[in-house]
Amino acid sequence: MTEIVSELSNSPGGDLVTWPIDSDALVNRLRSRSMGLGEAVAPLLRERRRALRRSIQDTDWEILKPVLEHYDELLITSLASRYDALDQAVAKGHIPFAEIDQYGKICYANPTFIEQVNVALPEGVSDPTGQPFAELFGQRRADIEEVLRKRSSASLRVEVRGQGHVRQLRAEIGPMGDEAGGGGAFAFLLDVGGEEARLEAALEAVLRINSAGTITFANTAAAVIFNTTREDLLDRPATGLFADPADSARNVLEPWLHSDAGCIQDLVLAGTSRPIRMSIQPFFDRPQQQSGILLTFHSIENELATKQLQHLLASKIPPSELIREIMHTVKSVVPYEMATFGVYTSDARHFRTILVDPPPNFRWSTRWFEVQPAVLDWLDEEKTWVEDLNEFMQWAAPDMERNPVAINVKKLNLQSFVTVPVRGAAKYNGALTLLSSKRIYGEKDLDKLKSLDLETILQAAIEALDCQRQEQLRKLKSDLAKATSARQVARRLAEGVSKCFDWEYVGVFQVDRRRNQFVLFAQYPAEGELTVNPSYTQPLSEGMMSHVLQQQSTIIVPDTRDQQSSRDFIFTSPEQASAMATPLKVNGRIELVIDLESIDTNAFQGDDRQELEQLAADCEQIIQHRWQQAITHSLLDASDRAAVVVDAVGTIREMNAHAKQILCVDTDTDLSSLGASSQDKATLRSTNPCDRLSLALLAPGGGGIPTLATQRPLGDDYGHRLWLFTDLREQLWQRDWRYLDATVREVAKQTRTPLLIADSLLREAAGLVTSPKRAKSCVSLIETAATHLGKADLTFERLSSTLMAHQEPTDPPHVFDALGLLRACYDLLPKSDRAAIKMDSITKGDTFLVKGWPGRLEFAFRSLLGNLVLGNVGPLNPEITSARGASGELVLQFRSSMPRSRKTAEQDPISRATSNARVLVQLAPEAVEAIVQQHGGHLNLKKGDALNSEFVMTLPAVKGGAA
């Protein structure tokens, strides 16, 4: 088999099986009886499972198959031969023996057992097989049933009665599973005469206590538990040796000293927290007369520790806390003064400490250090305990003066240690080490630790550490992606890198080529031995980081004081002993440098460089994405149109500033939900490209936003599309501004002339007032001036009321007389204007009721009357007529005329714009039309144009509207 193992070790891609197959070790464990059968074969089964967990190719399987077959043969041979021999010894021996099934019935009994109990069998029954075991022993039946139910061990003094015979025996009962895995028990019946020799040879601790509570017998195992001698235990009171963990004042033995019943209790050794499980049974020196109790007990530290470890493994606590709790649980089984836990690199060439318990009062380095090949060979031997730690360190760490672990161990004056290595896929993943300055560790301590299945528990802790780091890295990347500025990116990067990898100092420097300097952007921690001034800068051509720029790669300085390898390191603190720096590139050019420093020399070994470079590569992608995103947003924001990027299902993913302003929604909103109508929603859901399509979007305050929409695919393989919206309201605003400019200019012209005339007339009138003869002429001039002032006032009123007319009314409508309102507006005109307008068809008795708003309709009437007054300079007098339509509606006609010097088409554009502005000022036709429509009517230009026109206003009547 040695040749096969050697061949496997040297196989291509191999290192599949490198452990020795030690059959002698298995045999020795079985023969020693120092552990159970399952515990003895556990290392063999672990090695077998380890081989099967590996990724094995077909060529390797042919080599590995004989190894596994050898393991199987070794396992079967060692167990089968021992089982057969022991079974024969029990079956044919002179010790009464019986097997009991899970129902408490005898399923096998050897001839000697049958001979001992035949007197207690029912009449006509000669074989006890199938009989209830407890019923054979009369008054101890209940005690035996309790032992079988709890599947515990017990030593009971029993009597077998029947056919006039009484036999005093001791029943040794213990749990034993049957061949099918079911629960059962075994039982030996021993002659009372050979009892003491058997008790001395028992593996469990045994004490015999008389009725006065004094120890009369103690075996060697009991002396070992109490760390004394058998002679020292004899004649001592037993009551002070044990305690109830829930009630330390209770005498746990007193109730049983004179009781013929027994029990099983979980107690602790008095004055300690060491747990034991004790079986208490009555003891008989003479037939049917109790003379004391027999105590059988054993430590259950391992059992409780194993349960606690399994509980910890199932709990959801942070990995560091999990490891510390594992240490505390282990301490109850194997005491220590200091415990350390650490991990190896994937090739097991470097090791670093993760946790120390209890934390020392000095700094314990958590950096990687090199593991000597001799140490790995020592671990492979599986004898991982050392009685003289100093001697081991001189052998394992020749550079003790510079090795941080060796220095720390020497400070603590530790003398011995034991290590539980955690095997990995290639070599080792980690190790738990217990150290002491008083206790000398040995093979028994290692066996106790292995019996806890500690390797499996520690492997789970290592996996939890890896998961925690991966989660920290994911959070760091997410935080970097969400950062709002370059400096915030640097701060989060420095803190995240330090926490993820437990590095002492991390600085992030910006490469400022404009000022030709490295500029400190962020550092973590903000205060400490290695912290530098926040305003620190450094020329691009100096220091270790200049080599990063030159070589475009990571630089490591193992010893900053070694001139040959310092890479021009610039000291900012006397504590700086080693350093590492790596570049971060954006668009192919180094923009940031991550600087790591330590107070330990040669601190950056093992996986440090690989981990930092991998993180830097991930950060480069995030920063590159931020850079490209900034460019994209800048280009989008430069557009005068609203730009929206949607995904394949129409959900908004990106928007420029203009889109955010007019839509007022967040990303992840369905774009189609912003359509003002069902047709607009359908258009926004469509994936068909379109160009300058007219549609309306919902306005934030209600109503619609008229737009011209363009849609095209982005071509990014993910179905994203780009929508561009032109807000037509801006064009309307621009048109309104042009209208307002022309209107204001025309208003100035229209109002200035009447005001100048009114001013001249009033001055002339003032000169005439002094002459009474001219008073009549003065009155006429004043009236004419008032007429011109009224015209100017009417123009201003019309301009200020236009906006009001376009707005929807907010007060409720009511019924009023439209003809009466028209006459009132007519009566407000100057006398000369009233005389110029013919309104013969509308008499004072005519009425017409409409429903609406008198103030608004008054504005419409005054605007049309003003048009007749201001715009009529033709040969015909303006005229207003009234009539009834076929449906009873009121029809009002406003007719005026204006001569033209030439046709409109012949006018130059400036003259034409001026004429249109004059009409807009005089008439405000859009405002008048809006008011008429608000009253349910309509306004039409019946003939001519705006300069020679006949406006027809139609208003519907309410009930009783015409009189």
| Whether the predicted pLDDT of 782 surpasses 80 | no
Closest CA to 728 of 705, 697, 762, 756: 705
| Torsion angle of C-alpha atoms 27, 32, 37, 39, degrees rounded to 10 | -100
375-426 residue pLDDT tens: 888 988 888 999 988 888 878 766 666 666 677 777 788 889 999 999 877 6
Given this model, what pLDDT does residue 905 score?
A: 43
Given this model, what pLDDT does residue 789 score?
A: 60
46-60, 582-596, 715-729, 920-934: which is most confident? 582-596
Give how far Cα 145 sits from Cα of 98, 311, 315, 345, 681, Å.
15, 31, 37, 56, 81
Alpha-carbon span 943 to 921, nearest angstrom: 21
| Whether the predicted pLDDT of 765 surpasses 70 | no
Average pLDDT over residues 435-455: 89
246-298 residue pLDDT tens: 887 888 888 888 776 778 888 888 888 888 888 888 776 554 456 788 888 98
588-643 residue pLDDT tens: 889 999 999 988 888 888 888 888 888 888 888 888 888 877 777 777 777 778 99
**Contacts with 518 (C-beta within 8 Å, 6 or more apart), sequence order:** 509, 510, 511, 512, 537, 538, 539, 540, 543, 545, 593
Which position has the higher pLDDT, 304 or 781?
304
Which position has the higher pLDDT, 783 or 691?
691
Q: Identity (one letter) of the amino acid at 76?
A: I
pLDDT band at 835 (very low <50, low <70, confident <90, very high): confident
Given this model, what pLDDT does residue 787 score?
A: 62
Identify the weakest region by mean pLDDT among 205-209, 600-604, 769-773, 844-848: 769-773
Given this model, what pLDDT does residue 414 score?
A: 86
Q: What is the DSSP letter of 586?
A: E
Given this model, what pLDDT does residue 323 score?
A: 92
- The per-residue DSSP string of 244-313 comes to BTTBTTS-SSGGGTT-S--EEEEEEETTS--EEEEEEEEEEEETTEEEEEEEEEEE-HHHHHHHHHHHHH
Query: Where are the alpha helices (H) located in 639-692, listed in sequence order?
Result: 657-663, 678-685
Identify the weakest region by mean pLDDT among 93-97, 513-517, 687-691, 909-913: 909-913
Given this model, what pLDDT does residue 776 score?
A: 63
Alpha-carbon span 719 to 717, nearest angstrom: 6
pLDDT band at 78 (very low <50, low <70, confident <90, very high): low
- Helix 925-934 vs helix 854-871: angle between axes, to the nearest 10 degrees? 150
Average pLDDT over residues 186-194: 79
Average pLDDT over residues 528-542: 89
164-178, 205-219, 773-787: which is most confident? 205-219
Residue 120's SS3 state is helix
| Whether the predicted pLDDT of 580 surpasses 90 | yes
463-480 residue pLDDT tens: 888 888 889 888 988 888
Q: Identity (one letter) of the amino acid at 707?
A: T
| Whether the predicted pLDDT of 5 surpasses 50 | no
pTM attached to this predicted model: 0.53
What average pLDDT is seen over the chain?
80
By the 8 A CB rule, do 125 and 163 touch? no
- Helix 608-638 vs helix 486-501: angle between axes, to the nearest 10 degrees? 160
Identify the weakest region by mean pLDDT among 186-195, 425-434, 733-742, 860-869: 733-742
Please say whether the dihedral angle defined by the alpha carbons of residues 839, 842, 844 and 850, taken in this order, is positive or negative: negative
Given this model, what pLDDT does residue 17 score?
A: 43
Given this model, what pLDDT does residue 556 score?
A: 92
876-909 residue pLDDT tens: 678 888 888 888 899 998 887 655 444 444 444 4
312-328 residue pLDDT tens: 888 888 888 999 999 99
Which residues are registered as beta bridge partners of 290?
Answer: 284
| Whether the predicted pLDDT of 795 surpasses 60 | no
110-139 residue pLDDT tens: 988 988 888 888 888 888 999 999 988 877
Q: What is the DSSP letter of 647?
A: -
59-73, 188-202, 592-606: which is most confident? 592-606
Q: Identity (one letter) of the amino acid at 735?
A: R
Average pLDDT over residues 299-305: 84
Given this model, what pLDDT does residue 946 score?
A: 45
By the 8 A CB rule, do 882 and 841 touch? yes
- Percent pLDDT > 90 in the chain is 19
Alpha-carbon span 963 to 955, nearest angstrom: 15
644-691 residue pLDDT tens: 999 989 999 888 888 888 888 998 999 999 999 999 999 999 999 998
Surface-to-core class of residue 202, CB atoms within 10 Å of its CB (0-12 exposed, 13-18 middle, 19+ buried): middle
Given this model, what pLDDT does residue 32 score?
A: 60
